[in-house]
Amino acid sequence: MSVDHQHTEGNSHHHHHGSTPHRTLPPGVTGLHTLPADHHDGPWDSMIVPPGTKERLLSTAVLVLRQGRLLTNLSGAPHGLIVLAGPPGTGKTTLAQGLAQAAALAVSKRGATTLVEVDPHAFPSDMLGESQRAVSKLFHDTLPEIAARRPHTVVLIDEVEALAVRRSSASFETNPVDVHRATDAVLAGLDALRAKCPHVVLIVTTNFLQAVDEAVLSRADLVLTTELPNAETIEGIVRGSLEELAGQWQEVRPLAKDKALHAEMASLLVGLDGRRVRKTMLSALASRTEVAMEPGLVTADDLRRAAQFASDTGALF
């Protein structure tokens, strides 16, 4: 998690600072943050995506944040919904959080942005329509109340398939009644939120596009699919990770410039997701206690061995 919880307002587990009143977060909301925050830039910059991807994401968000109210007069007004879909470890959450920060930065001259994190697993699942009521409350009351506090609001729902299960899917048939109600509540909620707060941006992620209700996807202004990184992207992640290390330990600088090494590692790591690639870089530091004590001592051979090991064990997943 790259989100800095110092910016969490009213988290009941935190002691309050100064005169900040003690508040608990509304049901389903797991984080409230004020953006832009300087330390949020890194993840967005470190993501390697096809050319134009970041600009398209950013423009979609900025259009809704800035022009959402005016665009309601169009026949096909935006829903402010951005869907990021793709396999585990391909950067969906990182892009979603990075986008929130990048968009907040872009509109910061016009005021601050609230980032609202919603946990789709926090809603009760039972047969009494409780989850339906909770979801309705989120979209009809909670989010509009939060959105009223600042000029811009971005809502993040990670793993949205937990909330908006595709009604035509097999898993739906095993638990039809309540799931149906919850998905209906999400749809009604999206429409209600658009009517009340046309300038709110909703970024949702899913591992599995096929599990998300079609009517929800139909409301998306942008559906972006993330892919497993190719060799070139892996080279970039390896280089970027080494540059980050070099920022901390100067001695790593030559390794960060060794293009042949990056290519060699990428050829071993191809097939792994971006998260596994980053873990491989860490595992090189953990391969010898000496290096763990003094990461500047890491060698090209440590890195090669870590990549070889990741490549051998990667087949296990």
Per-position DSSP letters for 28-48, written without gaps between them:
TEEEEEEE--GGGHHHHHH--
Q: Of 78 and 120, which has the nearer Cβ to ligand ATP?
A: 120
Sheet with 81-85, edge to edge strand ranges: 29-35, 113-118, 152-157, 201-206, 81-85, 222-225
Q: For residues 112 and 246, give the distance between their C-alpha atoms in angstroms, rounded to a whole number.
A: 33
226: its two tokens: 């993330």
Task: Give burial (CB, 10 Å; 0-12/13-18/19+) of 76.
Answer: exposed
Helix (H, G, I), strand (E, B) or coil at 263: helix
Check binding of 207 to ligand ATP (CB under 6 A): yes
Check binding of 98 to ligand ATP (CB under 6 A): no
Residues binding Mg ion (CB under 5 A): 93
Check binding of 40 to ligand ATP (CB under 6 A): no
Q: How far is the CB of 84 from Mg ion (least distance, A)?
A: 9
Residue nearest to ligand ATP (CB): 274
Helix (H, G, I), strand (E, B) or coil at 148: coil
Torsion sign across C-alpha atoms 227, 237, 30, 125: positive
Q: How far is the CB of 86 from Mg ion (least distance, A)?
A: 10
* Per-residue mark of binding to ligand ATP, 273-312 (x: CB under 6 A): -xx--x----------------------------------
Check binding of 229 to ligand ATP (CB under 6 A): yes
* Per-residue mark of binding to ligand ATP, 143-162 (x: CB under 6 A): --------------------
Residues of this chain that interact with ligand ATP (CB under 6 A) are 46-49, 86, 88-94, 205, 207, 229, 233, 237, 274-275, 278
